[in-house]
Structure 1
Amino acid sequence: MTARQRALIVDDEPDIRELLEITLGRMKLDTRSARNVKEAREWLAREPFDLCLTDMRLPDGTGQDLVQYIQQRHPQVPVAMITAYGSLDTAINALKAGAFDFLTKPVDLARLRELVATALRLHAPGNDPASVDERLIGDSPPMRTLRKQIEKLARSQAPVYISGESGTGKELVARLIHERGPRGEQPFVPVNCGAIPSELMESEFFGHRKGSFTGAIEDKLGLFQTANGGTLFLDEVADLPLPMQVKLLRAIQEKAVRAVGGQQEVVLDVRVLCATHKDLAAEVAAGRFRQDLYYRLNVIELRVPSLRERREDIPQLATNVLNQLAAASSQPATLHGEALEKLKSYRFPGNVRELENMLERAYTLCEDDQIRPEDLRLAEAPVAGDTADGSLAQVDNLEDHLEEIERKLIMQALEETRWNRTAAAQRLGLTFRSMRYRLKKLGLD
């Protein structure tokens, strides 16, 4: 017979303890109760637990003290904090300290059962840890640190802001956080916020009812409903217009959405991860991003390093890309030593995505199944300002050099907007006519 899972309940109010004991007992959990931090520590020293629920205010300390204690002594035990209604700052601080999630009083029993079920899935057999190593390639110190952070954040339900330059792999990091956590079997829904026309945003995020506007010929689920039980990944979140930011903030705070044309709000269980290549704090300072939404999304920041910060990973990354290309076409190709040296000294403004695109192009064009330096089509010199002494790098032909930079920026904008030319033009501050002219001039049309 399988042993029942065990929960520790910490609250100084007998009525709350009894409510939690009855609810968890009906979920087939064994429970132990403590009235304060001291008793909780004594229970933790005597027995193993699969979950801890603690009130924020305790007679001899705070729930946050207990979160920190469990993080240090029993890191495998997820802790959920119970806070007073409206104490959002307290809840966010608890998440930063390592709490799994939080509930507000009065306790919603449906939400409690949902939270407990999610937390207990942390103890279910998960994926082989090697899967992270296989997909997040590189053995440099920044990448080893990133893997450890992913494993830790996967055990939490805290909102995570993933920062980093374009092309560093922010969506892959978000997927790994999702897959390694208790929601791994549920939907992962990525959305590029910069690629959705502003007039369709509310319908895309929250869904709509048939007949709610011209063209609404049937009911449609929004991205939040699609991600229910799983994770919603908001890529390029800085591109959301201010009116939509207000609605998004309300949906995250209330954990509920109302479809366009709908009468009732629908309660949802969605973890939100977000990313942008922009400096979100600078966007707040410039008045382009709401400060309250910034604090709600940026409970924990996870920075993905640029390729320039981990050049020692380039050989491993290049080998992996070429192996994938060879497997797809049954035609192996090798990288000439001089070509590899060129890659290691290149600045890579587009990071891993640029490396992948560059190698795919070189693989297609190379002869004798060997990629040589000329197949990479790199500028002869690194980008100005990237030399060791900070002096201006030599540029043989300024026009060609500027054209190459322009091509890379346009390609980057197109890739980030899923090849939506209008959205890409807006991101670059161009009119659509100017964008079309540049695409034709650069041979990208």
Structure 2
Amino acid sequence: MSRVLIVDDEASICFAFREFLVDEGHRVDVAASAEEGLTIAEDTPPDAVVLDVRLPGIDGLTALAEFRKRIGPAPVVVITAFGDLDTAVRAMEGGAFEYLVKPFDLDQAGEVIRRALSWERGEDRPVEEAPGGGSEALIGSSPVMQDLFKRIALVAPTEVPVLITGESGTGKELVARAIHRHSARRAGPFLPICLAALSPGLVERELFGHLKGSFTGADQDRKGLFELGSGGTVLLDEIGDVPMGLQVKLLRAIEQREVTPVGDARPRPTNLRVLAATNRPLGDLMAAGQFREDLFFRLSVFHLHLPPLRDRREDIPALAEHFLRMARTSTTADLRFTEEVLAELRARPWVGNIRELRNAVEHAAIVSRGQPIRPEHLPPAMTGSGQTAPAPVDELVPRHLAEWAAQEATRLRDHPGEAALYDRFLELSEPAVLQAVLRACQGNRARAAQVLGIHRATLRQKLNRYAISTDRERDA
């Protein structure tokens, strides 16, 4: 049996945790403020602490150091409803065992506390170190982004290589810069190198340097980027495009921390951290013999995957507002989004991810000429082929639907007492549309109403009319 201290000013959170942990056989103390929690911790030291960030009086992150003085190495699980990279970094820097963002699943939180108690007993000690610093470069409150913040905070202070994967435009370089900024190398240079932009004959010279006379035109010695980046971090962007002949040299440079310039037989020591990024499936490249497995495993000691924007649609309004603030000028200081355009932004496929969203916001800021931004101010949505998405009539109204409408119109003309054609059409088509949108919005009615462009009350009436229930309701 262990003793757990819960410090949170939300009575519902405390009640849920207490009931869960008591059922697990633990003793539970509850405090509504950091000051009260510190007093309890001093009188009866807990085996683990669950600590909220936003508290009356002293906030949780500030109180974390004081808890450390009273409870020693006992694990602290930090919870917050306002998660960002800075909060995650400060929590991990203060020695937090884990970082949870509200709302969270109680079973998930319970598993974290079980691991924390196992860690306290020495059964499951983590090996990651804690970072420092703060940044607002990455934006997002979605669960996937909160997990990304936590993983960045864990890996930043280490020296291990990190492989960053994700579709084009998801922000891989931003993640790399955040890792550098929160590392012990933050005072050193950060060198992003786009390998795909270099010709195969230049990559080795650019990375490792060359000696005078080593090839035609080499009229002086030149240091490579691996030497110029000494004390800092290098990002090898588009690592999947590295020629096979260079991959073995790159592996040696990372493992042995030394490079051999072109035309030289003597290796030179290097002092830099290597990060790599790619939007290509390295697994497929390895299977095709186009990428070395040993290089892949060396680069992917720690792997961060960035989700596409379509998988974190709840972050779109915050990202759009951020880009709009950047686009404002002295003459367009009052620029704002209408609800209609926010619904349109959430509904788009965003095949170009965050980069496409930024371009769309900047385009709309210009076209709107200082007026509230409406859907017509946005550029056309893009398809996977890079073309604007068409909406021809023959796609929107299939032939069988047109034939049905013609037949029904003829029949109803002779039977005026029956339901009107439009009402019959809605009865057939609306349920399918409502169900599809609800599935896309994961049963969130508020979000579905925004996508449909109707009021929540209207959506509720339609769902009741057609007896449509969400997955959440069916599970309940």
Q: 2:392 maps to which residue?
A: 396
Correspondences of 1:18-29 after superposition (within 5 Å): none
Task: Confirm whether residue 154 of structure 1 aligns to residue 166 of structure 2.
Answer: no
Q: TM-score of the superposition, structure 2-length normalised? A: 0.53
Q: 2:178 maps to which residue?
A: 176
Secondary structure of 1:272's aligned partner: strand
Separation in 1, partners of 2:208, 2:330 = 39
Separation in 1, partners of 2:339, 2:297 = 47
| Greater displacement, 361-370 / 139-148 | 361-370
Q: Which amino acid aligns with 2:318?
A: Q
CA contact (8 A) 1:98 1:156 kept: no
Q: 1:287 maps to which residue?
A: 289
Separation in 2, partners of 1:363, 1:322 = 7
Secondary structure of 1:274's aligned partner: strand
Higher RCO structure, 1 or 2 (CA under 8 Å, sep 6+): 1
Report deviation, 1:192. 0.6
Q: 2:262 aligns with which of 257, 260, 263?
A: 260
Correspondences of 1:198-217 after superposition (within 5 Å): 198-217=200-219
Separation in 1, partners of 2:279, 2:330 = 31
Report deviation, 1:197. 0.5
Q: Which amino acid aligns with 2:234?
A: L
**For residues 119-165 of structure 1, what are the alpha-carbon distances to aligned partners after superposition, in whole Å with 9 as ceiling and x for unaligned?**
xxx78xx42x3x2xx21111111111111110000121111111111
Task: Confirm whether residue 190 of structure 1 aligns to residue 189 of structure 2.
Answer: no
Secondary structure of 2:210's aligned partner: coil
Structure 2 CA distance for partners of 1:99 and 1:333, relative to 1, 3 Å: closer
Report deviation, 1:329. 6.9
Separation in 1, partners of 2:251, 2:176 = 20
CA contact (8 A) 1:191 1:235 kept: yes
Correspondences of 1:133-144 after superposition (within 5 Å): 134-144=136-146
Q: 1:307 maps to which residue?
A: 309
| Greater displacement, 292-301 / 327-336 | 327-336
Q: 1:324 maps to which residue?
A: 326
Correspondences of 1:211-360 after superposition (within 5 Å): 211-327=213-329, 331-360=333-362
Separation in 2, partners of 1:200, 1:162 = 24
Secondary structure of 2:219's aligned partner: coil
Secondary structure of 1:335's aligned partner: coil
**For residues 288-347 of structure 1, what are the alpha-carbon distances to aligned partners after superposition, in whole Å with 9 as ceiling and x for unaligned?**
111111111111111111111110111111111010111587644212221111110001
Separation in 2, partners of 1:383, 1:239 = 21
**For residues 209-232 of structure 1, what are the alpha-carbon distances to aligned partners after superposition, in whole Å with 9 as ceiling and x for unaligned?**
222211212222111011111111
Secondary structure of 1:370's aligned partner: coil
Secondary structure of 2:222's aligned partner: coil
Separation in 2, partners of 1:141, 1:267 = 41
Separation in 2, partners of 1:286, 1:329 = 55
**For residues 61-93 of structure 1, what are the alpha-carbon distances to aligned partners after superposition, in whole Å with 9 as ceiling and x for unaligned?**
xxxxxxxxxx9xx889xxxxxxxxxxxxxxxxx
Unaligned runs of 5+ in 1: 1-47, 50-70, 77-95, 101-121, 385-392, 400-445
CA contact (8 A) 2:231 2:271 kept: yes
Unaligned runs of 5+ in 2: 1-71, 74-91, 98-124, 396-476
CA contact (8 A) 1:187 1:231 kept: yes
Separation in 2, partners of 1:162, 1:224 = 19
CA contact (8 A) 1:163 1:170 kept: yes
**For residues 342-364 of structure 1, what are the alpha-carbon distances to aligned partners after superposition, in whole Å with 9 as ceiling and x for unaligned?**
11000101111110011112212
Secondary structure of 1:225's aligned partner: helix
Q: Which amino acid aligns with 1:255?
A: R
Structure 2 CA distance for partners of 1:215 and 1:341, relative to 1, 3 Å: same
Correspondences of 1:16-95 after superposition (within 5 Å): none
Structure 2 CA distance for partners of 1:300 and 1:368, relative to 1, 3 Å: closer
Q: Which amino acid aligns with 2:182?
A: R
Separation in 2, partners of 1:200, 1:316 = 41
Percentage of matched positions with identical amino acids: 43
Report deviation, 1:274. 0.5
Aligned residues: 276
Q: 2:18 maps to which residue?
A: none
Secondary structure of 2:276's aligned partner: strand
Separation in 2, partners of 1:75, 1:331 = 41
Secondary structure of 1:152's aligned partner: helix
CA contact (8 A) 1:206 1:224 kept: yes
Q: Which amino acid aligns with 2:282?
A: L
Structure 2 CA distance for partners of 1:218 and 1:199, relative to 1, 3 Å: same
Structure 2 CA distance for partners of 1:215 and 1:370, relative to 1, 3 Å: farther
Task: Confirm whether residue 98 of structure 1 aligns to residue 94 of structure 2.
Answer: no
Separation in 1, partners of 2:390, 2:326 = 35
| Greater displacement, 362-371 / 247-256 | 362-371
Separation in 2, partners of 1:394, 1:219 = 55
Report deviation, 1:246. 1.5
Q: Structure 1 runs of 4+ off > 6 angstroms?
A: 381-384
Q: 1:377 maps to which residue?
A: 379
Q: Which amino acid aligns with 1:226?
A: L
